[in-house]
Chains A and B, each alone.
Chain A
Amino acid sequence: MKMRPLIALPMIAMAASCLAARAEPAKGDRALGEYLAGECVACHQVTGQASGAVPPIVAWPEDQFIAVMKSYKNKDRDNQIMQTLAGRLNTSEIEALAAYFGSLALQPMKN
């Protein structure tokens, strides 16, 4: 079954903010993840804020992040951009991204 990503992701993010405190230790290469994240933060706010139809991806449990990225990679989720970008990430790169974004804290909205 194909999930609607734009509905599913904020729910996961909400769960993530509750679970972040007892997340497993990072197994991914955070420095690699920070570099790879350059592609992600061209759309997704590094502050963890949602904007437009672009959902937040900060502070998720790493296993959730990895599962979502793999579902895009396998084209189980719709979105051409995410399928394309996830499609060329290998497992260690996805784990690196999960470690990096998982380590970031949601920042309060300014203004």
Chain B
Amino acid sequence: MLMNRRRMLVGSSVFGSALALGAPVVLGQAKQRVVVIGGGPGGATAAKYIAKDSGGALDVVLVEPASQFVTCFHSNLYLGGFRSLQSITHGYDKLTANYGIRHARQMATQIDRDKKQVVLADGTRLSYDRLVVSPGIDLKYDSVPGWGQAHEETMPHAWKAGKQTEILKARLDAVPNGGLIVMIAPPNPYRCPPGPYERVSMMAHVLKSAGKKDAKIVIIDPKESFSKQGLFQQGWDTYYPGMVEWLGPKIHEGVKSVDPKTNTVETGFETYKNAALVNVIPAQMAGKIARDSGLANGSGFCAIDPETMRSTIDANIYVLGDACIAGDMPKSAFAANSQAKVAAMNVRAELTSARAFPARYANTCWSLIAPDDTVKVGGSYASKDGKIAAVETFVSKNGETQTMRKEQQGENMGWYAGITNDMFG
């Protein structure tokens, strides 16, 4: 009876009944349970490593409403015509089939920290011994005057991949020669620091390839400087001369308002009317479930212990990826994957006899500027002085050979295959 029921649960990607989740006594309570909220890079990696390395000793449940995940990383390459959307879309079937992870296809609506339970959208209460929270970011829809969630189709953000990415691509492909694209870049901290600027590069590539040489891209940036700035700006001058204009806050003096009806962006410096495309990338914060559960501080993100990735608020909870405050590490999929392995190791050490080693982290972000011209930034990180601190970092340099830049694009593609296999395979 027990085995039959277990087999049924393990084989199912959707939980059929509240009984199955809410009553661990039915399962004999033989196994301690780890619940993972969020099936992105952090959550998928954590679930996989906890399940795989515990060899079935722990009951791992991944709470994620979607059946597939479209990666934000390499979505700019889709925008630029270098990848299909399908090639950046990944299912959870291998995680459930290969490692016995159970996939609860529901939204987590509440964390009852006192009872150590996650409440799902249908009211099911899922008990946990340890909880991994990896919800990614939420957008601050009120951070750009005049713009909000109701306008995300007319002025797409495409900072969560999927339908938004498709909208942005369709709009980009429809920009006429002589048309204007305005990107409102996000303030720190945000997901994928080089992302907006790689996106601009891909937009320029699409325009150039279509012969729309008189189209223009203006970036309204709230930051004084940005990731890989010198590399991007030289790349824009080289490949897309006169097409890209970056304006820092001292020049544009802030976004005063946007009007989605007329595609107008008003800044303190200039008003851009009848833009062919306005890409609003707003300010960001940790996903709602993390904030509602009291795991975030005043910054909107969640403080963690840099040795373990454990929440500083609740010792039974780990927070990963874009939702956490990761010190010197950027908010990137690579970083989330790295953090997830530290968390997974510590969860297993707490619940099983697994060994725990000192935390170490790594990150690299590649950015495609033009075909066969890819630059990278990255580093190694460790716990130091109460935060995740950089041990050594590197960044590409202007003047690198074309051969080297082309090789780096090969690395970029190889990395994508490797890391998505590491997360979802």
Contact = CB atoms under 8 A, between A and B. Distances in A.
Given A35-B357, A80-B394, A42 B415 contact: yes
A43 B341 contact: no
B23 interface: no
B413 A52 contact: yes
Contact of B413 (A32, A42, A51, A85): A51
A49 to B, nearest CB: 8
A84 B390 CA distance: 11
B416 to A, nearest CB: 8
Interface string B409-425: 11111111111011000
Contacts of B345: 35
A67 interface: no
Given A81-B376, A87-B392, A88-B380, A43 B418 contact: yes
Which of A35, A44, A85 has the largest count of B CB atoms less than 10 A from its CB? A35
Nearest to B362: A39
Contacts of A41: 418, 422
Interface in A76-106: 80-81, 83-85, 87-88
Interface in B377-425: 378-380, 382, 391-394, 396, 407-419, 421-422
Contacts of A53: 407-411, 413-414
Contacts, number: 93
A52 B360 contact: no
A6 B418 contact: no
A54 B418 contact: yes
Nearest to A6: B407
Contacts of A44: 418
B-side interface mostly: helix
Contacts of B422: 41-42, 46
Interface in A33-69: 34-36, 38-39, 41-47, 50-54
Contacts of A46: 421-422
B338 interface: yes
Contacts of A3: none
Which of A41, A42, A84: most chain B Cβ within 10 A? A42
Contacts of B49: 38
A3 to B, nearest CB: 14
B360 A84 contact: no
Interface of B: 49, 53, 334, 337-338, 341, 345, 355, 357, 360, 362, 364, 376, 378-380, 382, 391-394, 396, 407-419, 421-422
Interface of A: 6, 31-32, 34-36, 38-39, 41-47, 50-54, 80-81, 83-85, 87-88
10 contacts: A6-B410, A35-B355, A41-B418, A43-B411, A52-B411, A53-B409, A54-B417, A84-B362, A88-B391, A88-B392
Leading 4 A-B pairs by shortest Cβ distance = A52-B414, A53-B410, A54-B414, A52-B413
Given A43-B419, A81-B376, A83-B394, 19 more contacts: A6-B407, A35-B355, A35-B357, A38-B338, A38-B341, A39-B360, A42-B337, A42-B362, A42-B422, A51-B418, A52-B410, A52-B415, A53-B413, A53-B414, A54-B411, A54-B418, A81-B378, A88-B382, A88-B391
